[in-house]
Amino acid sequence: MSNINKVLILKTNYYKLLINTLLIIVFNAYSQKNTKENIIYSAKDSVVYDLKNNKVYLYNDAEVLHDKSKLTAYYICIDFNNEILTAKGLNDTIGKYLFAPVLEENDKSYFADTIRYNYKTKKAKIDKLLTEENGGYLHGGEIKKETEDIYFLKNGKYTTCENDEPHFFINAKKIKLISGNKIITGPANLVLNDMPTPLAIPFGIFPTENERSTGVILPTYGESFNLGYHLSDLGYHFSINEYLNLTLNGDIYSRGSWRIGTSSAYKKRYKYDGRININFAKTIIGEVELPNYSLSRDFKVNWQHKQDSKSHPYNNFSASVNLASSSYNRNNINNSDYLQNSLSSNISFQRTWENSPLNLSVNFRHNQNTLNNQVDLTLPEVALTMNRIFPFKKTIKKTWYKNLGINYSLNAKNLISSPDSLLFSNMEQSFKNGIKHSIPISTSFNLLKFLNFRSSINYTERWYFDKKYRTWDSNLQTINIDTTNGFFAIREFNFSTQINTKLYGHFNSRNKKFRHVFTPSISYTYKPDFSDDKYGVYGSLETDNSIETYPYFQGNVYGFPSNRKQNLISVNLNNNLEMKIIDSTATRKIKLVESFNISSSYNNAVDSFKLNNISFNFRTKLFDKINLKFNGIIDPYIINGNNQRIDKLSISQGNLGRLTNLNFDVSVNLNNNSDKVSSSGKVSQSDLEYINENMDNYIDFSVPWNLQFFYNFSYRKPLSESELIQSINFNGDLNITKKWKVGFSSGYDLKSGDFTYTTIDIYRDLHCWEMSFNWVPIGFHQSYNFIIRVKSSILQDLKLSKKKSFYDY
């Protein structure tokens, strides 16, 4: 080809490109005159301009942006004269519909087969719509978009199933969607797996706003043989504001029993959060004047409060209150704490000071035993502590007093202990109170380089406000206790010193290295006999030509010093054995014996039985799964034929002593996953916190199986009679398939020959539904609960349940 022809071709292509560019500019300018709004459009394949009809055709990955709306599809036609966008997908060679239109508007996505959208009025006609509204999915056959937020659907479906063909849905001929607010239906019925059911409603309103709302809590109905027909958890929820909500609910039974309760949750970000629950219940079983008749009136109060660490750098207030009548846990079916027989509470305020070693703590405590109805209240307990300080720390020389440290603590307590029925009667005389000061002083240093030396002096002073004297009555038959009020200070002190070191032993084989760490320690403790009159702790009373000593302050909150003098030498031998395996790939360290400890002491201040019991304990872990522990006590003295312990060492008869106590524990944990759920980015932080706080309600299918086994052996023989107790506990769960999970928990008491509390749990993941079955086959709380329900909280009342409580067994 000649150079002249090449030049002509280049000029021709240049003119074509120039003409096309001018046409686009002219078309865009003309289009801009016909609409006040800017439209940005693009396509991957081609853009075709129809200047005559003022239209643009976009093919393959077509996209149109206008205002806050975005429309994507395989094909889009922009009609500038009528201000209409028409979007369609593409049928491939096998008839599959691809690249369907998607309309994004106000952070919402609408999937459809065909969309005709007026970008000026925001109205549209849509075929086969699918959109998501805060966890709910709305399907429609023919849709008319009236305004920016209002849609009318013909032959619509509402569901929480995410599949294109949902497993269930609420079917209605007419549906109105107010985006971000609610879904309103006309007459509708439930469809399961494309099978219509007779479950129908005349109309339906489904809130979809992602905000707190107020409304009725629908109850669960059921029947109990002993309590009658019932409605459970009927109530009303008030969303007061963003910081506080309130729920009122209750249960009612046809035979007279009832429960009413209120709960409130509050939270102020970076300040505090908490929850309070109050319940009152009346339980009637049987008929009046019949042998099985019982009537119980119960209550329960639970309050949890936590202050955020960011709210104040030095002050902290927290509360954990758990109060209940003794029979509440036993009588209420829906209570999950029915195995708990002790309750405790604590309201605490703590204060620290900047650049100060002082700490202040004020506590109000409550302890309750529901078996014997005993209640202990501490109103209040004040503790002032000083962290350890080192007055001579800045000393340049390395002297014994350089590490001398001093601590101080003050504890004041006001305590009442009484059966719950007598708790508030004559409270002033029932209170026990006192103040306790403790000043430990200690130092430590190295002696001869390898010996660690530690010495300490402990001083304790107790302040009481009453003193009890014992006297005989006029007939010398009865001992009277006379109480004198006033201020009484009793003092106690002791001195101790300890020397310890570490000895290392090594043994090597071809590819294994063993290390034995032996830690011996010897300590000396001195404490005087505080029954001496000069200390003012003990009194004396003459009985049967002898004089007995008694403590003036028996029963007080901090006790009293012992009348047993100590001139004590103690020996402790601790052992640790490790093995290191060296191979071509890696080096592994294995602890063969984590700890094997033997200890005893010798008190030279007493007249008899100077050698104390020999105690030992052993702990190790095998294969990182099996924990072994055992501990015991050996009495070095013999017993005579009268079953009495005498001051004669067993070693004189050729043995170390008598085994009086032995405890052996084996625990096997084959759980291959951690107890806490870690963040994977698939759940929000609030959901993650809820799961971690309610692990019992979380079904984790990532663990295929889990097994925990516990065995306890306890042997006790203080004299000639022995007692043997053995128990086995086990629990676990198993994924039969990816959707089935079975859990169990039980135990066996070998002494009584009976199973302990036993539960069996079965769970089935049904995609958008779930099934659970909880069964307690034996025991006082024998019961079962079977339920199938929708997973989503939006339709949480769509469920089927069948249960039988322990009242009916």
Q: d(Cα 353, Cα 628) in Å, to the nearest integer?
A: 44
| DSSP labels, 362-394 | EEEEEEEETTTTEEEEEEEEEEEEEEEE-TTTT
* Unique residue bearing structure tokens 């009658």: 228
Per-residue pLDDT band at 640 (split at 50, 70, 90): confident
Length of the chain: 809
For 429-449, give one letter per residue: b (16+ CB within 10 A) or e.
Answer: eeebbbbbbbbeebbebeeee
Number of H helices, E strands in the chain: 4, 52
Closest CA to 345 of 308, 372, 373, 375: 375
Among 10-14, 179-183, 445-449, the minimum mean pLDDT is found in: 10-14
pLDDT at 430: 73
Q: State residue 134 phi and psi, 5-degree precision.
A: 50, 50
Closest CA to 279 of 256, 303, 255, 295: 303
**pLDDT tens across 79-135, in order?**
999 999 999 999 888 888 889 999 988 788 889 999 999 988 888 999 888 888 877
**pLDDT tens across 278-321, in order?**
999 999 888 887 888 888 899 999 999 999 988 999 999 999 99
pLDDT at 681: 46
Among 30-39, 251-260, 307-316, 438-447, the minimum mean pLDDT is found in: 30-39
Query: Are 113 and 89 a contacting pair, CB within 8 Å?
Result: yes
Q: d(Cα 163, Cα 596) in Å, to the nearest integer?
A: 60
pLDDT at 476: 60
621: left (phi over 0), alpha (psi -120 to 50) or beta: beta
Three state DSSP letters for 138-162? EEEEEEEECCCCEEEEEEEEEECCC
Question: Mean pLDDT throughout 784-809?
Answer: 81
Residues ≥6 apart with Cβ < 8 Å to 397: none
Q: d(Cα 314, Cα 354) in Å, to the nearest integer?
A: 8
Q: d(Cα 79, Cα 55) in Å, to the nearest integer?
A: 5
Give the 3-state secondary structure percentages of the chain, helix then strand then coil, rounded to 5.
Answer: 10, 60, 30
Query: Are 116 and 86 a contacting pair, CB within 8 Å?
Result: yes
pLDDT at 679: 44
**pLDDT tens across 137-159, in order?**
889 888 898 887 888 998 899 89
Q: d(Cα 379, Cα 416) in Å, to the nearest integer?
A: 8
Angle, vertex CA 748, rays to CA 746 and CA 751, nearest 5: 160
Three-state secondary-structure class, residue 84: strand
CA atoms within 13 A on the CB side of 535: 23
Q: d(Cα 484, Cα 417) in Å, to the nearest integer?
A: 21
